[in-house]
Structures are given as C-alpha cells and as structure tokens.
Amino acid sequence: MIRFTPEQEEFRRTVARFVDAEVVPAAQAIDERGEFPVALFRRLGALGYLGLRYPEAYGGAGADMVTYCLFAEELARGSLSLAAAAGMQSLMGTHFIYKYGSEALRARYLVPALRGDLVATFALTEPNAGSDVANITTRAERRGPSWVLRGAKTWVTSAPVADLLTVAAKTSPERGMKNIALFLLDRAGMRGIALGKKIDKMSVRASETGEILLDEVEVPPEHLLGGETGGVEKIGTILAEIRVMTAALSIGLARAAYQAALEYARQRVAFGKPIVEHQAITFKLADMLTALYAATLMTYQAAAGIDAGRAVTREAAMTKLFASEMAVRVTDEAARIFASYGLAMEYPAQRYFRDARFLLPGGGTSEILRIIIGRDLDWDRGGAFP
C-alpha cells in the first residue's frame, strides 16, 4: 500500500495546480512547434522544481525520491516534452557536477542550472554505442595539464539548447568499459563544441534532441569529474533513479491518456447510449486502469526503497519495464477509444500515443531490462519479494 506523507500530498496538489494552469494549456502548441519550451523551463527553475533532489545550500530542496517521482508524474501528465527536458536537467544533466565537481564548479554551473538559467545535459550515446557502452569511441587525451576531447555524440537530449554537457569519453584506446571518464563541457567557454544534426522526432517534440560534435575540445583538469576511470560505475550509481523516474513519467502520461479516453467515452454516443456503457469500451478502460494501478504501486514502492537506502537494481528494472510498456498499451487503447478522432491533431490522444514511444529506450530498452531481470530469476532470493 502506498502511503504518502501530508507534505507529499500537498506537494502533489501544488504541482498539479501548476500543471493544470500553465502546462496543459500550452502542451499542444509546444508539441506542434517542436521547440524547447524556454518559458516553462525557466518557470520550473523559478519554482524550485529543478533542484528538488539537491541540498538547500545549492538552491535545492533536499527532497526524497518519492517526492521527486510525484513531480515527474504530474509534469508528464501535462506535457511529456517538458517533463523529459526537466528530467534531464534535474537528474543526469546535473548529478555528476554535484557528485564529483569542486565547490567552484558547483557555484559556477550547478547553482544556475538548478535555477533554470543554464541548460544541462548528459552525452553518452554514439552512432555505434548505445546499450553497448564498451564501444564508445570519443577519446580524451592528455595535453599538458588539460584534456583534449574528440568524437561525436548522438541522441543528446536538449543538445540544440544545452549550455553544459557531461560527456563520457575513453581515456584509453582499448575497447571496454574500464577506461571511461566523465568530463564537464562549457559550450560557451570551450572551443570545438558544435551542434550536428538536429533529430526530428515523432514524440516529445519539444524536448529537442540532436548530435554533438567534439573537435579538439580543450578541457581544464578540474572539469574531469571523478577521475580518469570508473565512468560506467558512476553512471550506474543513478541508473535505478533514472529508471524509477522514467516509470513515474510513464504513469503521468498514461493517466492523461486514460482520463481523456474516459471523458470522451462518456460524451460519445453510439447505438443510443454513451460508448462508456458498451461492454467493449468498459473492458478497455478497466484494463487500462488496472495496469495504471499496478505500475503506480511498483513505482512508489521502488522509490521508497531508494529513500530507505535499499538496493533496488532488479526492482527498478522491473518497474521501468512494466511502467513504460504499460504506457504504450494504455495510450494505444486510448487512441482506439477515440477511433477516427484518435488520428485528429486537435485531440490529445495522438500526442499521448506518439509520446509513449519515448519512454521505451530511456534508462535501458525493454530487452536490456529483461536481461538484467533475468540474471537472477529466484522468486525471493531467500528474502522478502522483490
């Protein structure tokens, strides 16, 4: 059973009011424009939402994972595009600066990023290195006290507008995951950083995505985050949070699709009565609601496990797998309930259907997650499930 504190319940209501007043009315327009939602992004920073996970000393709120997931869920209910940009900013884009950066780097980059004044992102994926992290070819070589980076990254969230990039690069020509390091790049202050092709996506269109090209980028030694090796392990420390956050985004999107389908089914009349009264539609809605309920239980149990300091590697993988696939099914069923109008751009069903596809690769594809889950198929591993 999920038990939220009174403070968490009030926080959800506060975020929901903001989403209903400012995000939902703008969601269709920002999707159609396909442009980074600068004004709403800065509003998130001004309201303190981008710094939820960080200490108050840096402008954050020191919130727990459950609270962060409530924020992610409500924001995704309004616009998954905005939620995707906010998720990158408040998690992967800033985490490594906080965790491994000096106080000077935190003051210069982290604090303004949490205010929404700087856009931060994380660049790992390459044209030939997605799930196969060992195949990264972006190189970092020493040149005196500094490092010089060469290579290309793709599928970089917020790439066209990013001010800061945490980039994974090899510090050795050897293939493998051992010699991967993380570097903080300042796009305005370092030469050789260029935007490659902007990727025109069918989903989360306002969360701009593109390629980053690195040509002899000289990086000061203090911008090496956490040492010359161990980058994969550092990324691994927040994978559970990434996956549980993605599950929360999935719930928010699916909730919006379910509610839209329910309202439409109550209004649409066929064969003399609202279609919600036809068993075929009732069964669809019942299955959608059941799947949503299960995903919600899984997500907040996993989030509570993170807050309790419990290892949730397998639990987070199962949660993200189930919730993201649930969102795909629920948005598909919502579009079916809308029937022909599910294709009409004036209705949100088509946007929910498209946006759900974004949730599948982030934090690990469903196939990769099944491999992780399948490494240990014992029911309870000698303890309480999971």
CA separation for the pair 243, 297 (Å, rounded): 15
Instruction: Write out the E strands in 47-138.
Output: 120-123
pLDDT tens string 329-340: 999 999 999 999
Per-residue pLDDT of 331-379, as tens digits, reads 999 999 999 999 999 999 999 999 999 999 989 999 999 999 998 787 6
| Per-residue pLDDT band at 385 (split at 50, 70, 90) | low
State the pLDDT at residue 84: 97
Mean pLDDT taken over the chain: 95
Report yes or no on whether pTM surpasses 0.75. yes
**Share above pLDDT 90 across residues of the chain, in percent, rounded to a whole number:** 89
For residue 55, what pLDDT band results from cuts at 50, 70 and 90? Answer: very high
Residues ≥6 apart with Cβ < 8 Å to 177? 133, 134, 232
Whether 381 has a pLDDT exceeding 70, the answer reads: no
- The rounded distance, in Å, linking the Cα atoms of 228 and 231 is 8
Q: Which amino acid is at 244?
A: V
pLDDT at residue number 86: 98
Burial class from Cβ neighbours inside 10 Å (0-12, 13-18, 19+) for residue 192 reads middle
pLDDT higher than threshold 90 for residue 260: yes
Q: Which domains does the chain have, with CATH numbers?
A: 6-119 (1.10.540.10), 121-229 (2.40.110.10), 238-374 (1.20.140.10)
Burial 31-62 (b: 16+ CB within 10 A, else e): beeeebbeebbebbbeebbbbbbbeeebbbbe
